[in-house]
Amino acid sequence: MNLSISSYTWLPGSFTSQLDVLQSHGIEAVEIFCTPRHLDIHDPEKVQSAGLALRDLGFRQISMHAPSAIGDLSAPDENEREETVLACQRALDAAMLMGARQITFHPSSIEGDVSQSEDRWPALYETLREISGYAEDRDIRIAVENFPAPFFGSNPTELYDNLTDLGIPNVGVCLDIGHAFVGGHLPGALENFGDKIFSVHASDNRGTVDEHLPPGQGNVPWETIFQGLHQFGYNGPFVVEVRDGRRFKEILRDIIDFSEQTGLFSFGQLSH
């Protein structure tokens, strides 16, 4: 696994504001969390500036989390879904310009309808079919994140099985540990996974609310989680996605301490 830090961790500051801090600690992987104030992917100048900063600072693994307001990938309404496809394509263009090789999308919208209706699955499949070729042309993989309940896509095993059956090579799952733990799916669901897990989002909580605490500061059984990830051979990005109201440098210190204490990562990228 490769330790990566999500820029969600230093919201609402600008995306580029903390990249030098990550570099100074030897961290070579980052996930771009897209919001208009943090990094507006519809602003070509800001996208180009962010891409140059990432290259100049030598980040070797870059991923992107698409904006939460991008639309509804599983919208049963065809017009709404087609608008979402166009928005996803714009996000993929921005990802390519910034050097990202993987992008994470939510399976449904955080606004409006939260139904788990079965007609959402065919709509999601069609969206993924439409954007997967666009992503492939840009050498980008698509990861669909398990959402917290009551949103559609909250069962990580169901999401994994359905996307595996869909059979699109560059489409897989982003396993969000915090969401799955609150939903009662972890650690048991880990035995159902394999190489369609493209990414892991890591944060801690106490089992009732998705608190986005630093790993090790809640009730997530990390030792068991790591064992499960290793058992199915996961070797992708382990993206720490934390936001607890403290200064970014304090949170980063906790992340590095946790990483060193677990001994389950390649720490050659970390230094003091």
Show the domains of the chain with their CATH numbers.
2-269 (3.20.20.150)
Q: Are 174 and 202 in contact (CB under 8 A)?
A: no
pLDDT, mean of residues 25-34: 94
- What are the tokens at 202? 């890591």
User: Which residues are CB-contacts of 236 (< 8 A; sequence separation ≥ 6)?
Assistant: 1, 2, 197, 198, 199, 200
Output the 3-class SS for 98-137.
Answer: CCCCEEEECCCCCCCCCCCCCCHHHHHHHHHHHHHHHHHC
pLDDT at 268: 37
Q: How many CA atoms lie within 13 A of 165 on its CB side?
A: 9
Mean pLDDT of the chain: 93
pTM above 0.75, yes or no: yes
Which range has the worst mean pLDDT, 143-147, 209-213, 264-268? 264-268
Rounded average pLDDT over 199-209: 96
Is residue 253 pLDDT above 80, yes or no?
Answer: yes
Choose among 199, 204, 162, 158: nearest CA to 181: 204
Q: Could you read off the pLDDT of 136-176 as tens digits, one per residue?
A: 999 999 999 999 888 899 999 999 999 999 999 999 999 99
pLDDT band at 221 (very low <50, low <70, confident <90, very high): very high
Amino acid, single-letter form, for residue 160:
Y
For residues 19 and 219, what is the distance between their CA atoms, to the nearest angstrom?
A: 30
Q: Who wins on pLDDT, 261 or 199?
A: 199
* Per-residue pLDDT tens over the stretch 75-127: 999 999 999 999 999 999 999 999 999 999 999 987 766 677 889 999 999 99
Model pLDDT, residue 114: 67
Q: What is residue 118's predicted lDDT score, i.e. its pLDDT?
A: 83
Going from the C-alpha of 29 to that of each of 54, 102, 270, the distances in angstroms are 10, 12, 11
Query: What pLDDT, on the 0 to 100 scale, is given for residue 271?
Result: 38
Q: What pLDDT band is residue 270 in, cutting at 50, 70 and 90?
A: very low
pLDDT at residue 113, as a whole number: 66
Q: pLDDT at position 265, please?
A: 54
- Give residue 170's Cα distance to chain centre: 15
Average pLDDT over residues 68-78: 94
Mean pLDDT value of segment 4-15: 96
Q: In sequence order, which residues have a C-beta less than 8 Å from that of residue 174 and are 6 or more positions away?
A: 104, 143, 144, 145, 146, 197, 198, 199, 200, 201
As a whole number, mean pLDDT of residues 35-56 equals 95
